[in-house]
Structure 1
Amino acid sequence: MKSPVFITSLQSSHSVLIPLEIAKSFITNNQKRVIIEISFKDTHIKFHAALLKRKEQFYVMFSQRKQKQLGVLPNDYFNIQLLEDTSKYGVEMSEELEAVLQSDPEASDIFESLTAGMKRSLIYYVLQFKNSQTKIDKALIITENLKLGIRDKKQLIKKL
């Protein structure tokens, strides 16, 4: 499932308005998580997002970091398309975190029992690091803390 390409601009400093007819086609198919493709001039980015609703309008978050990466300024118009998100977690899993979870079935079972939002939060946390070894180290800390019964995100990411 994918939407037609449409032209839009920033709704606020960190969000983009999605036309009602496009948002409804995803929402009625129970697709609240989507992949966003945005192109501006010769630059193109793709990222996972949630369709959010406020006062009968739908929007997606579009961080200032992504805006800078694309070269978009507040008054610019750009092309956007929504695609069905078929990923397991609503975000691409870090290879390092996936490998650590595969090597530790107990931690993997606990990870799978977490809420979808908590799983995404932990995946995003690991993905923020560029160095593969750092990602592995962070994934190991998370899995050890999960096995210790820690469920608070702030505590999960701390080395004990």
Structure 2
Amino acid sequence: MKIKTFETSLQSSHSIIVPDQIANHYLNKGYKRVVVEIVFKEKSVQFHAALQKIKERYHITFNKQNQKKLGIFPSDYFTVRLLEDTSKYGVEIPEEFEAVLQSDPEALQIFDTLTAGKKRSIIYYILKIRNTQNRIDKALIITENLKLGIRDHKELIKRL
């Protein structure tokens, strides 16, 4: 796995600029999504992100929650490491959701027909749930709703 590192600061309140040479390295290899590790004062966070081109420059979203974890302010410089995102969905799937999908081939087949963004949205929703049993319960609700033909996010997460 190839790692590219650079130093930068916040471009806006929620993004950083990726040098063209580094962004193109990943894009030319077919990786629009990358794993990002940001290191600041011996603390680090790691997350999945998309390389987004905005006004001829490549950006990565760096949310306030991760900035706060590291104690980063707008004037701070920090180290960014990008790695190839080899995950199936562009984000690591919680093991509870993966187990539910594996136990229900029909739901897995339907889930795999969703757009990549919709899949990630569902996965991120489940990742926000801290309690293991609640993750399993919500995964079961989502898979049942998928089988009922529900695709709207707000309806997908509701128990019928």
- Kindly indicate whether residue 33 of structure 2 is the aligned counterpart of residue 44 of structure 1: no
- Kindly indicate whether residue 20 of structure 2 is the aligned counterpart of residue 13 of structure 1: no
- Kindly indicate whether residue 27 of structure 2 is the aligned counterpart of residue 27 of structure 1: yes
Gaps of 5+ in 1: none
Pairwise CA distance, 1:3: 4.1
For 2:139 and 2:41, locate their aligned partners in 1 and report how far apart those are by CA, in whole Å.
Answer: 37
Pairwise CA distance, 1:2: 3.0
For 1:22 and 1:100, locate their aligned partners in 2 and report how far apart those are by CA, in whole Å.
Answer: 37
Secondary structure of 2:145 counterpart: helix
State the TM-score, normalizing by the size of structure 1: 0.97
Partner of 1:64: 64
Secondary structure of 2:21 counterpart: helix
For 1:90 and 1:9, locate their aligned partners in 2 and report how far apart those are by CA, in whole Å.
Answer: 25
Change (3 A) 1:113 1:4: closer
- Kindly indicate whether residue 140 of structure 2 is the aligned counterpart of residue 154 of structure 1: no
Secondary structure of 1:12 counterpart: coil
Range that drifts further, 3-12 or 69-78: 3-12
Q: How many residues are treated as equivalent by the alignment?
A: 160
Partner of 2:74: 74
1:56-94 deviations in Å (ceiling 9; x for gaps): 100100000000011111110000011100000000001
For 2:110 and 2:5, locate their aligned partners in 1 and report how far apart those are by CA, in whole Å.
Answer: 40
**Runs of 4+ residues over 2 Å off in structure 1:** 1-4
Q: How do residues 67-146 of structure 1 correspond to structure 2 at under 5 angstroms? A: 67-146=67-146
For 1:117 and 1:77, locate their aligned partners in 2 and report how far apart those are by CA, in whole Å.
Answer: 30
Whichever residue aligns with residue 82 of structure 1, its letter is L
For 2:4 and 2:134, locate their aligned partners in 1 and report how far apart those are by CA, in whole Å.
Answer: 39
